[in-house]
């Protein structure tokens, strides 16, 4: 895992508006929040920052609005060491926003306003072809158009670049997109959406992974929260337990896992076990802090644990 990886992301850039509450309100009920703050987020941005903080060469394809949130997010990504040459400023859209209801238990519920993330064009993918071709991995999620992800993965495949799909938030994927995916990394809810299998343990995780493999995806990692992560590849099939920590906020934990994973993964995925352990360690550090991007650890913190 010594050589520096290069990762290109197509994805969402959001400003997270975090409302801390004791619990979710019941229908018709009004409750008070205990705290309110904003933080950088969006699944794409979170994963890219996690990749960069684990010292991968990281670039991004996406859009922000011509507003203060857009300026803030561009600056945040740039200061995190991410190449933003292929992030366009959309004068007709607002920057994506996520309203996060964070409960005392550490669980969260999220409401998304896609904004500029939904305005990415085919030309944006074409304009990023050099960055895509220079990468070891091309990574995307479901907070941007599936059609754009397909185009992004086709460009990656044409350049001999491995593709990683995080099918989040949970929704059905086209068979075309699944066929373009080298590694899929869903959580248990997203895996259930794609396979119909309710995942509660290693046995059900394996059943879902086999069904995903049957759809043409050779490599599957299903994240299972406190249970760990189930790996299913041609050479490695096993549940890797999670690190036991006190959870403060799960926001961005899955994104931290994916960004950290692709920063150390070998091109042939031969070190999948070691990479998943590293990614799990990164996610276990992230859940001990508030917010998505603010909680993502640096490589030296992950290695020290």
- 1 in a structural domain: no
- 63 in a structural domain: yes
User: Residue 250 has what pLDDT?
Assistant: 78
Burial of 165 from C-beta contacts in 10 A (0-12 / 13-18 / 19+) = buried
- pLDDT (average), residues 10-34: 95
**Closest by CA position to 42, among listed 250, 252, 186:** 252
- 152 in a structural domain: yes
**Closest by CA position to 284, among listed 205, 211, 228, 236:** 228
Burial of 27 from C-beta contacts in 10 A (0-12 / 13-18 / 19+) = exposed
Q: pLDDT tier at 305 (50, 70, 90 boundaries)?
A: low
In 22-78 the beta strands, taken as DSSP E runs, fall at 35-41, 57-65
Taking the C-alpha atoms of residue 278 and residue 303, their distance in angstroms, rounded to an integer, is 8
Annotated ligand binding at 16? The verdict is: yes
Annotated ligand binding at 182? The verdict is: no
pLDDT at 66 over 80: yes
Tokens of 196: 């119909």
Domain that holds residue 94: 6-304
pLDDT at 175 over 70: yes
As for how many domains the chain has, the answer is: 1
Angle (deg, nearest 10), helices 188-195 and 202-214: 50
User: Residue 272 has what pLDDT?
Assistant: 96
CATH of the domain at 173: 3.40.1190.20
pLDDT in tens, 74-121: 999 999 999 999 999 999 999 999 898 999 888 888 898 999 999 999
- pLDDT (average), residues 275-298: 91
Annotated ligand binding at 44? The verdict is: yes
Burial letters 269-298, b for 16+ CB under 10 A, else e: beebeebbbbbbbbbbbbbeebbbbbbbbe
**Closest by CA position to 154, among listed 4, 51, 10:** 10
Taking the C-alpha atoms of residue 83 and residue 62, their distance in angstroms, rounded to an integer, is 11
Catalytic residue (one of 35, 90, 255, 268): 255
Reply yes or no on whether 255 is catalytic: yes
Neighbours of 243 (CB within 10 A): 15
User: Residue 1 has what pLDDT?
Assistant: 44
Taking the C-alpha atoms of residue 205 and residue 199, their distance in angstroms, rounded to an integer, is 5
Which residues are within 8 A (CB) of 23 and not within 5 positions of it... i.e. 6 or more apart? 31, 103, 104, 105
Annotated ligand binding at 11? The verdict is: no
**Closest by CA position to 263, among listed 58, 13, 45:** 58
> Among 98-112, 161-175, 190-204, 274-288, which is the least confidently predicted range?
98-112
CA distances from 159 to 33, 124, 132, 266 (A): 49, 17, 8, 17
User: Residue 145 has what pLDDT?
Assistant: 96
Taking the C-alpha atoms of residue 106 and residue 94, their distance in angstroms, rounded to an integer, is 29
Q: pLDDT tier at 7 (50, 70, 90 boundaries)?
A: very high
- 117 in a structural domain: yes
Taking the C-alpha atoms of residue 123 and residue 107, their distance in angstroms, rounded to an integer, is 38
> Among 35-39, 56-60, 186-190, 253-257, which is the least confidently predicted range?
35-39
pLDDT in tens, 208-260: 999 999 999 999 999 998 899 999 999 999 999 999 888 887 778 999 999 99
**Closest by CA position to 45, among listed 99, 7, 79, 9:** 9
Burial of 138 from C-beta contacts in 10 A (0-12 / 13-18 / 19+) = buried
CA distances from 218 to 91, 107, 122, 211 (A): 41, 32, 27, 11
- 279 in a structural domain: yes
Cα torsion 52, 73, 281, 110 to 10°: value is -150
Taking the C-alpha atoms of residue 266 and residue 123, their distance in angstroms, rounded to an integer, is 30
Annotated ligand binding at 136? The verdict is: no
- pLDDT (average), residues 59-79: 97
Annotated ligand binding at 43? The verdict is: yes
- 142 in a structural domain: yes
pLDDT in tens, 135-151: 999 999 999 999 999 99
User: Would the pTM count as exceeding 0.95?
Assistant: no
């Amino acid at each position: 895992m010594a050589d520096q990886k290069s990762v290109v992301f197509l994805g969402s850039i959001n400003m997270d508006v975090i409302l801390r509450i004791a619990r979710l309100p019941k229908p018709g009920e009004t409750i008070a929040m205990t705290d309110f703050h904003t933080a950088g987020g969006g699944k794409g941005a979170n994963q890219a920052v996690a990749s960069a903080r684990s010292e991968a060469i990281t670039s991004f394809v996406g859009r922000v609005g011509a507003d203060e949130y857009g300026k803030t997010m561009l600056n945040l990504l740039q200061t995190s060491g991410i190449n933003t040459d292929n992030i366009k400023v959309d004068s007709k859209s607002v920057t994506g926003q996520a309203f996060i209801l964070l409960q005392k238990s550490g669980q969260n519920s999220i409401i998304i306003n896609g904004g500029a993330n939904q305005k990415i064009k085919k030309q944006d993918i074409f304009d990023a072809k050099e960055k895509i071709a220079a990468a070891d991995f091309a990574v995307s999620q479901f907070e941007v158009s599936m059609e754009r992800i397909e185009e992004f993965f086709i460009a990656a495949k044409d350049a001999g670049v491995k593709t990683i799909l995080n099918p989040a938030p949970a929704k059905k994927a086209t068979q075309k997109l699944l066929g373009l995916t080298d590694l899929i990394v869903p959580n248990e809810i997203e895996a259930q959406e794609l396979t119909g299998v309710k995942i509660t343990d290693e046995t059900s995780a394996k059943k879902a992974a086999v069904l995903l493999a049957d759809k043409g995806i050779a490599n599957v990692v299903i994240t299972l929260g406190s249970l760990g992560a189930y790996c299913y590849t041609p050479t490695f099939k096993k549940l890797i337990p999670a690190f036991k920590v006190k959870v403060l906020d799960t926001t961005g934990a899955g994104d931290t896992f994916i960004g950290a994973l692709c920063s150390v993964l070998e091109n042939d995925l031969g070190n999948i076990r070691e990479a998943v352990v590293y990614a799990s360690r990164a996610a276990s550090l992230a859940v001990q802090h508030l917010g998505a991007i603010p909680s993502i650890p640096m490589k030296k913190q992950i290695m020290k644990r």
